[in-house]
């Protein structure tokens, strides 16, 4: 159990902590062992109709987070769960919602799932639609960047599950098209992001209009202590705390490596790396919208099949790029951190940090876009000299030094680190604080 959870249990005393220590090396989703042959979804109190939908989705064995969360969430308890990326957490909150909503009057919004990005909201709504096929339950995805009217019509014609980004949901609420008075279940996905300064005011406005009597579930791959405290004070009631795997350990199926390179040579190095045939489906992270845009153009000029997603692109451009990437008709998707969390694209072979992330948590989220559902993946980080301190803090978080790879003529030798002067140390600390709990424009 890590320090945060130990602290939290001590502080709150009454919490039941449910912890599965998954060693580094265990993939998030793996085939069942013979001794687990009975460890199937029938062990839970799930109706035959939902079991059928689960099977149709190709889920045979519950993942660790599903095994831990389902007994409590099906019984109506509040949940706060941290789980590695790709661990199956979406189904862990959708199944109890669907099971509950199958009973009772349909057509009223009884479950609300909040997500930080349009892409995650759309993806979650798709999974909800697949799991409710053949039932009378309707799911509506509500997010910005697209016309209001189709969403207004969908909300007015009656829906049971709303998956939403906070800003657009509030727009609908103020217009009277989103009705939340009958709400029974709230899910906050990617909870640490949803509680940073950018989202927290909207999240609070939404919480203020929800019925107090409800089940609340919070999910995230990482859960800083400040978020835990806030969640406990403002959202949850007597929650079950579930921690699956280690927050600082990405799945061992991700091979991580570092290329030390000057800022000016990053694009040349990336183009050189892209000559490898194994790089079939590559997600490249850039620091800013402008850098993402510029890199995409450079790649396209060099005959690389590339596109990009970031906050300045229209929703239809974002959807189009993502759709092509999912279908493998786009080889390279360049993105800002907008794509770092929660995105589930099957078969991403490589994640490339063209620019290093601002903090170790962002690194974990980014590299979690590969090696989904137990497959293998590579995470390559292009680190320039100015990235030395963030690279060091990523390695401290991981508890090991990442292997350096050299490419003759492109990479640079490692430089010995000089200890910072007290003034520089101070400025780094305050930079680190800002980056761990801040509002970002991606
Ligand atoms: P998530 O962590 O919810 O983004 O899920 C990651 C991927 O795992 C998704 O593609 C899910 O469809 C898949 N998945 C979820 N639960 C299971 C399961 N029990 N067995 C196999 N795959 C699963």
Compute the average pLDDT of residues 249-274. 92
**Is a pLDDT exceeding 80 seen at residue 375?**
no
pLDDT at 364: 86
Compute the average pLDDT of residues 401-417. 88
Residues 230 and 266 in one domain: no
Tell which of 212, 244, 276 closes a domain. 244
Ligand 1 atom closest to residue 54's alpha carbon, by position in its atom list: 19
Tell which of 244, 268, 297 closes a domain. 244
Compute the average pLDDT of residues 300-322. 92
pLDDT at 18: 44
Residues 277 and 139 in one domain: no
pLDDT at 192: 82
Ligand 1 atom closest to residue 61's alpha carbon, by position in its atom list: 19
The CATH number given to whatever domain includes residue 218 is 3.40.50.300
Euclidean distance between CA atoms 404 and 29, whole angstroms: 28
Evaluate whether 442 touches 338 at the Cβ level (below 8 Å): yes
Residue 150: partners with Cβ closer than 8 Å, 6 or more residues away? none
Instruction: Count structural domains, the chain.
Output: 2
Residues 223 and 274 in one domain: no
Euclidean distance between CA atoms 380 and 154, whole angstroms: 42
Residues 199 and 307 in one domain: no
Q: Select from 27, 29, 119 the residue to mutate for testing ligand 1; criterion: most ligand atoms less than 8 Å from CB.
A: 29
Residues 235 and 298 in one domain: no
Euclidean distance between CA atoms 431 and 429, whole angstroms: 5
**Is a pLDDT exceeding 50 seen at residue 8?**
no
Q: Residue 432's pLDDT band (boundaries 50, 70, 90)?
A: very low
Residues 63 and 192 in one domain: yes
Residue 140: partners with Cβ closer than 8 Å, 6 or more residues away? 125, 151, 154, 155, 159, 161, 162, 163
Residues 46 and 97 in one domain: yes
Evaluate whether 115 touches 66 at the Cβ level (below 8 Å): no
Specify the higher pLDDT residue, 2 or 395.
Answer: 395
Tell me how far the alpha carbon of residue 100 lies from the centroid of ligand 1, in angstroms: 21
- Please indicate, yes or no, if residue 384 is contained in any of the structural domains: yes
DSSP 98-151: HHHHHSS-SSS--EEEE-SSHHHHHHHHHHHHHHTTTSS--EEEE-TTS-HHHH
- Please indicate, yes or no, if residue 76 is contained in any of the structural domains: yes
- Please indicate, yes or no, if residue 418 is contained in any of the structural domains: no
Residues 266 and 307 in one domain: yes
Output the residue whose Cα is nearest ligand 1's atom 6: 86
- Please indicate, yes or no, if residue 21 is contained in any of the structural domains: yes
Residues 62 and 111 in one domain: yes
Q: Residue 388's pLDDT band (boundaries 50, 70, 90)?
A: very high
Residues 235 and 278 in one domain: no
Question: Residues of 244-279 as b/e, b for ≥16 C-beta within 10 angstroms?
Answer: bbbbbbbbebbbbebbbbeeebbbbbbeebbeeeeb
Evaluate whether 187 touches 217 at the Cβ level (below 8 Å): yes
Q: Residue 36's pLDDT band (boundaries 50, 70, 90)?
A: very low
pLDDT at 248: 63
Q: Ligand 1: which residues within 6 Å by Cβ?
A: 29, 59, 61-63, 66, 86-91, 344, 372-373
Residues 189 and 284 in one domain: no
Q: Residue 417's pLDDT band (boundaries 50, 70, 90)?
A: low
- Please indicate, yes or no, if residue 432 is contained in any of the structural domains: no
The backbone torsions φ and ψ at residue 374, rounded to the nearest 5 degrees and listed phi first, read 85, 0
Compute the average pLDDT of residues 151-157. 95
Tell which of 244, 264, 283 closes a domain. 244
- Please indicate, yes or no, if residue 96 is contained in any of the structural domains: yes
**Is a pLDDT exceeding 90 seen at residue 405?**
yes
- Please indicate, yes or no, if residue 424 is contained in any of the structural domains: no
**Is a pLDDT exceeding 50 seen at residue 16?**
no
CA dist 179 → 100, 175, 277 (Å)? 19, 10, 51
Euclidean distance between CA atoms 312 and 289, whole angstroms: 7
161-186 per-position pLDDT tens digit:
999 999 999 999 999 999 999 999 99
Evaluate whether 143 touches 168 at the Cβ level (below 8 Å): yes
pLDDT at 427: 52
Q: What is the dihedral sign for C-alpha 21, 343, 89, 280? A: negative
Ligand 1 atom closest to residue 66's alpha carbon, by position in its atom list: 19
Ligand 1 atom closest to residue 342's alpha carbon, by position in its atom list: 4
Specify the higher pLDDT residue, 184 or 371.
Answer: 184
Residues 301 and 221 in one domain: no
**Is a pLDDT exceeding 70 seen at residue 426?**
no
| Helix boundaries (H) for 210-314 | 225-234, 266-273, 289-301
Q: Select from 88, 217, 244 the residue to mutate for testing ligand 1; criterion: most ligand atoms less than 8 Å from CB.
A: 88
**Is a pLDDT exceeding 80 seen at residue 224?**
no
SS3 call for 282? strand
The backbone torsions φ and ψ at residue 159, rounded to the nearest 5 degrees and listed phi first, read -145, 155
- Please indicate, yes or no, if residue 439 is contained in any of the structural domains: no
Compute the average pLDDT of residues 59-72. 90
Q: Structural domain of residue 275, as residue ranges?
A: 254-398
């Amino acid at each position: 159990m890590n320090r945060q959870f130990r602290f939290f249990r001590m502080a709150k005393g009454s919490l039941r902590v449910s912890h599965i220590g998954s060693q580094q090396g265990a993939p998030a989703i793996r085939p069942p062992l013979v001794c687990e042959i009975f460890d199937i979804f029938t062990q839970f109190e799930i109706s035959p109709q939902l079991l059928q939908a689960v099977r149709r989705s190709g889920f045979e064995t519950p993942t660790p987070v599903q095994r831990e969360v389902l007994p409590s969430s099906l019984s109506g308890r509040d949940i706060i769960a941290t789980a590695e990326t790709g661990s199956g957490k979406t189904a862990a909150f959708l199944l109890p919602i669907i099971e509950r909503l199958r009973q009772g009057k349909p057509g009223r919004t009884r479950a609300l799932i909040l997500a930080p990005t349009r892409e995650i909201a759309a993806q979650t709504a798709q999974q909800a639609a697949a799991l409710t096929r053949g039932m009378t339950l309707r799911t509506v995805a509500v997010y910005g960047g697209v016309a209001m009217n189709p969403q207004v019509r969908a909300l007015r014609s009656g829906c049971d599950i709303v998956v939403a980004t906070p800003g657009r949901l509030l727009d609908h609420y103020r217009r009277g098209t989103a009705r939340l008075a009958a709400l029974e279940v709230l899910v906050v996905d990617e909870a640490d992001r949803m509680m940073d300064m950018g989202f927290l005011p909207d999240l609070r406005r939404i919480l203020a209009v929800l019925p107090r009597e409800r089940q609340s579930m919070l999910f995230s791959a990482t859960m800083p202590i400040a978020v835990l405290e806030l969640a406990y004070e403002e959202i949850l009631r007597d929650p079950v705390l579930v921690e699956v795997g280690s927050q600082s350990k990405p799945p061992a199926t991700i091979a991580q490596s570092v290329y030390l390179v000057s800022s000016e040579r990053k694009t040349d190095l990336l183009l050189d790396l892209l000559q490898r045939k194994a790089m079939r489906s590559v997600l490249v992270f850039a620091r800013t919208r402008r850098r993402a845009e510029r890199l995409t153009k450079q790649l396209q000029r060099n005959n690389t099949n590339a596109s990009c997603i970031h906050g300045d692109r229209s929703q239809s451009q974002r959807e189009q790029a993502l759709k092509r990437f999912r279908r493998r008709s786009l080889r390279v998707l360049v993105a800002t951190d907008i794509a770092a969390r929660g995105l589930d694209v099957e078969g991403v072979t490589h994640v490339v940090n063209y620019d290093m992330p601002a903090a170790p948590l962002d690194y974990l989220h980014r590299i979690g876009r590969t090696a989904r559902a137990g497959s293998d993946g590579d995470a390559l980080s292009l680190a320039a000299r100015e990235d030395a301190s963030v690279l060091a803090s990523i390695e401290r978080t991981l508890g090991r030094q990442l292997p350096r790879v050299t490419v003759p003529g492109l990479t640079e030798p490692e430089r010995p680190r000089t200890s910072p002067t007290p003034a520089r140390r101070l400025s780094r600390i305050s930079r680190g604080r800002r980056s761990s709990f801040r509002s970002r424009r991606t």
